[in-house]
Structure 1
Amino acid sequence: MVALLEAAAHPDYPAEIALVVSNRADAAGLDRAREMGVPALAIPSRARPREAFEAELAAVLAQHQIAILALAGFMRVLTEGFVQAWEGRMINIHPSLLPSFPGLDTHARALAGGVRLHGCTVHLVSPGVDEGPILAQAAVPVLAHDTEASLAARVLEQEHRLYPAALAWLAAGRVRVQEGRAHVAATDARGRLVNPLPAGAAVSTQPLRD
Structure 2
Amino acid sequence: MSFPIVVLISGSGSNLQALIDQSLQGQLNVRICAVISNKADAYGLERAKLADIPTHTVDHKLFSSREEFDAELQTIIDQYEPKLVVLAGFMRILTETFAKHYEGRMLNIHPSLLPKYKGLNTHQRAIGAGEKEHGVSVHFVSPELDAGSVILQASTEIAPDDTAESLAKKVHSLEHIIYPLAVKWFSEERLTFQKGIALFDEKALPENGILYNQALL
Q: Which moved more, 1:174-183 or 1:2-11?
A: 174-183
Give the Cα separation in 2 of the matches to 1:20 and 1:116.
Answer: 36
Correspondence for 1:89 among 83, 92, 105? 105
Matched pairs, number: 193
Taking the TM superposition and a 5 Å limit, the aligned residue runs for 1:1-210 are 1-48=16-63, 49-177=65-193, 180-185=196-201, 195=216
Larger relative contact order (C-alpha < 8 A, sep ≥ 6)?
1
Q: Please, what TM-score do these two structures have when normalized by structure 2?
A: 0.83
Following superposition, the deviation at residue 177 of structure 1 comes to 3.4
Name the SS for the 2:178 alignment partner: helix
1:18 and 1:38 in contact (8 A); partners too:
yes
In structure 2, runs of 5+ residues without a counterpart are 1-15, 204-209
Q: Which 4+ residue blocks in structure 1 deviate beyond 6 angstroms? A: none
Which amino acid in the other structure matches residue 216 of structure 2? N
Give the Cα separation in 2 of the matches to 1:120 and 1:12.
Answer: 22
Percent of aligned pairs sharing the same letter: 40
Name the SS for the 2:126 alignment partner: helix
Give the 3 Å change call, closer, same or farther, for CA 31–186 of structure 1 in structure 2.
Answer: farther
1:119 and 1:155 in contact (8 A); partners too:
yes
Name the counterpart of 1:208.
Answer: none
In structure 1, runs of 5+ residues without a counterpart are 197-210
Q: Which moved more, 1:109-118 or 1:63-72?
A: 63-72
Name the counterpart of 2:5.
Answer: none
Which amino acid in the other structure matches residue 188 of structure 2? A
Give the 3 Å change call, closer, same or farther, for CA 37–114 of structure 1 in structure 2.
Answer: same
Name the SS for the 1:159 alignment partner: helix
Name the SS for the 1:115 alignment partner: coil
2:104 and 2:194 in contact (8 A); partners too:
no
Following superposition, the deviation at residue 12 of structure 1 comes to 5.0
Give the Cα separation in 2 of the matches to 1:68 and 1:40.
Answer: 17
2:154 and 2:211 in contact (8 A); partners too:
no
Superposition CA RMSD, Å: 2.0
